[in-house]
Structure 1
């Protein structure tokens, strides 16, 4: 069974909050290496794996499915690589960030994450339970302060204050290890970290392979 569509907004919101924000990791706490995520939905019988690589201010995500898509993030752009089709697309990171920032800035403070005193160990990392009210239901996030930090996102065009809850996250060093969506009373394991490897990564991982054709974006910036 595929990931339920009505859970996607909450999942994408959480992923974008942590992963996109982590492009601006504090150098003294920056994690370098590979993290493997398992993303599942429905009854959990169907799942996908995502390999997440981070080095300095660059991120590479590999989706282990039939498409085999690779996405590379850096401070200036986002590149979607479809090597099997011999092509890639590139667009400014600001385009993606502006929509997210507007949603964050307009978020109801009542939906801000609440930090609990519950703790548990995930893959050797001590995690704290945070809860978050989304339109899809209660979201439970287990986060650790042992895998790097990030600063809050701001609109590249300026303006708008950073929500207090986002600043609270940024003041620490947090990384999501598990996210669970409570969907109409049923807990759906949206994603979980299944492997963490601290290692030196080759910079070539974060560049577009030679020989690929750059395709025009199917949309234009407003």
Structure 2
């Protein structure tokens, strides 16, 4: 799954937490180092995705929400829901190099260090996960009323396509510019100049096993969201 999630990172020039390996995350959580959460985090809108995959012959389905910041605020959040598992909202604070996890059912919140530069560089330096520069195929289609360009990305293990909206649904243009610059600094890979916006659909296939992964945006919400630590116990 690490390969597929890193494709999302390259596409947007953001979401670096998905490029970080599970072992790195466990080390950060087990190190005892904590980051104090801010009182609240504000977002201008969100995308809802339905995801599906085949892993080791077993089907997987889930739901994701991506939350985008207002103006030039340098944060991002995502929530993943899986069957029989409690959902966790994770806020990525790029400026403070931290990840804040809200365990909503338990009303607990925890902040851990997140080395964004190291996460992206480690993944891109790995021959198995290092990917090619995204290439536009020339194909377009409409998703939820937004015209999207198809982009192709190759790695040693996966072939992936992303349908990227030509016009972002949210006023977070400054955020995407900052994250593109972050990606170039961390990995040395510039995004194509005309690769702008947000992917509304992602498809990937494992070259060896032929297992497929899919994420499709099913809802765009322009309703502002505020995630507050009030009423949460800090771990």
Does TM, scored on the shorter chain, surpass 0.5?
yes
- Residues 25-71 of structure 1, C-alpha deviation per residue, up to 9 Å, x if partnerless? xxxxxx93121011210189531111222222332322223221111
Unaligned runs of 5+ in 1: 1-7, 24-30, 215-222
Tell whether the 8 Å contact from 2:62 to 2:81 is kept in structure 1 after alignment. yes
Question: Pairwise mapping of residues 43-192 of structure 1 onto structure 2 (< 5 A)?
Answer: 46-56=60-70, 57=73, 58-65=75-82, 66-74=85-93, 75-76=95-96, 77-93=98-114, 95-104=115-124, 111-147=132-168, 149=173, 150-151=176-177, 152-154=180-182, 162-164=188-190, 166=191, 168=192, 172-184=195-207, 186=210, 188-192=212-216
Report the Cα offset of residue 153 of structure 1. 4.6
Task: Identify if the C-alpha distance between structure 1 residues 117 and 102 changes in structure 2 by more than 3 Å, giving closer, same or farther.
Answer: same
Conserved in 2, the CA contact under 8 Å of 1:105 and 1:160?
no
C-alpha separation in 2, matches of 1:78 and 1:213: 13
What root-mean-square deviation, in Å, do the aligned CA atoms of Structure 1 and Structure 2 show?
Answer: 3.3
Gaps of 5+ in 2: 17-42
Aligned to 1:213: 234
1:133, distance to aligned residue in structure 2 (A): 0.6
CA distance, structure 1, for counterparts of residue 200 and residue 121 of structure 2 = 23
Q: What is the deviation of 1:96? A: 3.5
Paired residues of 2:164 and 2:196 also in contact (CA < 8 A): no
- CA–CA separation in structure 1 for the residues paired with 2:87 and 2:106: 10
Q: 1:19 to 1:132 in 2, by over 3 A?
A: closer
Other structure's SS at 2:6 match:
helix
Cα distance in structure 1, aligned partners of 2:151 and 2:215: 15
Distance 2:198 2:125 in 1: 21
TM (normalized to structure 2)?
0.67
Alpha carbons of 1:17 and 1:110: their partners in 2 closer, same or farther (altered >3 Å)? closer
Aligned residues: 191
In structure 2, the residue matched to 1:3 is: none
